[in-house]
Structure formats: structure tokens, C-alpha cells
């Protein structure tokens, strides 16, 4: 079985776009409306000799906010239970939200390596957001643009020692 890397993060940060970028196919649905990805999706990635299975999740995309904290934790537990690494995606343009911080707090207690990925950072547009993402306390954020294919090499460099 290949190492398993799980993409998690709040809705609309670009998780499915990153999944598609890594897999190189349109296996995950990308949409402007949050909550489009309903199930976990799996794809195999091969790059520079490194092979792993990538998982796109939508566990944080609950329509009923009153049930969010419970579902968040439940879904995350399911997702990271068999993960070798987590890519925690945030939106470098929008900056951190309370939900990002909540997910970050939870991940700091989880027993799995986490890489913070600050997406939508094409050009220099995400510089402030990348810097802000340090405050999650989960190490050095990797600035990427899943849509434009920037930062993928840095991401693989961060994953290489882990998986
Ligand atoms: P998910 O809900 O986290 O899976 O997010 P999606 O992958 O569905 O993307 C949500 C929105 O963000 C879509 O409109 C994407 O086109 C957009 N998006 C994704 N990646 C990038 C990026 O690198 N830069 C910019 N500017 N937009 C992006
Ligand atoms: Mg999605």
C-alpha cells in the first residue's frame, strides 16, 4: 500500500484543485460553491520518484453550522486515522478564519505530521497570508497556487522526508 496523504481544510480553500493538480486529472469536482465535494476521493500521485495516494476530503463542509464542531472532529478523525501525512490547506488571500484556527488547534493535538499549505498564493498575492499561516503553530507554511501550478516543488520537498 502506498503512503497516504490527506488534504483537509475548510470549504473553498482549493483542496480539490490541489488534488487535481497532484493527480493530474480532473477526478475531484471543483466549484465556486463551497461544499461541492461530497465524498472522499482517492488518487495516486507519482512525482520525482515519490509515490503516494492523495485523498481529497470534504468533512468540514457541513450545511448545518450547529453541528459543525462535532462533525468536524468526527470526519477529521476518520480521515487522518490512516494518514501518513496531512496537507492542511488555508487560503493565503482570504487569511485565517476562526474555522482555520479551530482545525489548526485540533491538528496540533493529532498524532500525524502536518504540512500547512497556503494556497491561492500566485505571484506575490499570498505573501501576507503565507506569513500569517505561521501563527497556526504547525511549522513553516508552503505557499502554492494549485490553480496555476506554483509551489508544487516546495510541497514535494516538504513531503519527501515524511513519507
Ligand atoms: P475546496 O472546497 O477546498 O475543495 O476548493 P475548490 O478546489 O473547489 O476551489 C474553490 C475555489 O477556489 C474555486 O473557485 C477555485 O477555482 C479557486 N482556487 C483554487 N485554487 C486556487 C489558486 O491557486 N488560486 C486562486 N486564485 N484560486 C484558486
Ligand atoms: Mg472540494
- What CATH number corresponds to the domain at position 17? 3.40.50.300
- In Å, how far are 25, 49, 144 from 127, measured between CA atoms? 28, 30, 10
**Residue ranges for the chain with pLDDT beneath 70:** 25-39, 59-78
Residue of the CA atom closest to atom 15 of ligand 1: 14
Q: Which ligand is nearest to the CA of 146?
A: 1
Number of domains comprising the chain? 1
What sign results for the dihedral spanned by CA atoms 100, 62, 69, 28? negative
Q: Which residues contact 105 (CB under 8 A, 6 or more apart)?
A: none
Stretch (H or E) spanning 18: helix 15-23
Whether pTM exceeds 0.95: no
Which pLDDT does position 36 carry in this prediction? Answer: 47
Domain limits at 9? 4-159
Q: What residues pair up with 95 in beta bridges, in sequence order?
A: none
Of all protein residues, the one whose alpha carbon is nearest to atom 12 of ligand 1 is 14
Model pLDDT, residue 132:
98
The backbone torsions φ and ψ at residue 43, rounded to the nearest 5 degrees and listed phi first, read: -145, 150
Ligand 1 contact via 91 beta carbon (within 6 Å): no
Spatial separation of the C-alpha atoms in residues 41 and 151, rounded to whole Å: 22
**pLDDT tens sequence across 112-159:** 999 999 999 999 999 999 999 999 999 999 999 999 999 999 999 999
> Which cell numbers hold the place of 158?
516538504
d(CA 98, CA 121): 20
Q: Which pLDDT score, from 0 to 100, does residue 28 have?
A: 54
Give the torsion sign (CA, 31, 34, 39, 40).
positive
Q: Which residue's CA is minimally distant from atom 2 of ligand 1?
A: 12
CA torsion, ordered 107, 100, 86, 115, to nearest 10 deg? -100
Amino acid at each position: 500500500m502506498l503512503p497516504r496523504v490527506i488534504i483537509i481544510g475548510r470549504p473553498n480553500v482549493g483542496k480539490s484543485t490541489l488534488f487535481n493538480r497532484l493527480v493530474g486529472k480532473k477526478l475531484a469536482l471543483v466549484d465556486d460553491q463551497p461544499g461541492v465535494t461530497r465524498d472522499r476521493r482517492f488518487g495516486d500521485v507519482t512525482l520525482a520518484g515519490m509515490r503516494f495516494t492523495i485523498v481529497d476530503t470534504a468533512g468540514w463542509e457541513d450545511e448545518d453550522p450547529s453541528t459543525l464542531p462535532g462533525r468536524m472532529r468526527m470526519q477529521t478523525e476518520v480521515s487522518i486515522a490512516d494518514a501518513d501525512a496531512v496537507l492542511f490547506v488555508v487560503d493565503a488571500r482570504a487569511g485565517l478564519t476562526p474555522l482555520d484556527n479551530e482545525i489548526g488547534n485540533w491538528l496540533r493535538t493529532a498524532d500525524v505530521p502536518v504540512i500547512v499549505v497556503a494556497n491561492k498564493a500566485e505571484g506575490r498575492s499570498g505573501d501576507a497570508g503565507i506569513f500569517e499561516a505561521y501563527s497556526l503553530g504547525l511549522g513553516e507554511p508552503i505557499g502554492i497556487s494549485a490553480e496555476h501550478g506554483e509551489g508544487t516543488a516546495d510541497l514535494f520537498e516538504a513531503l519527501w522526508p515524511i513519507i
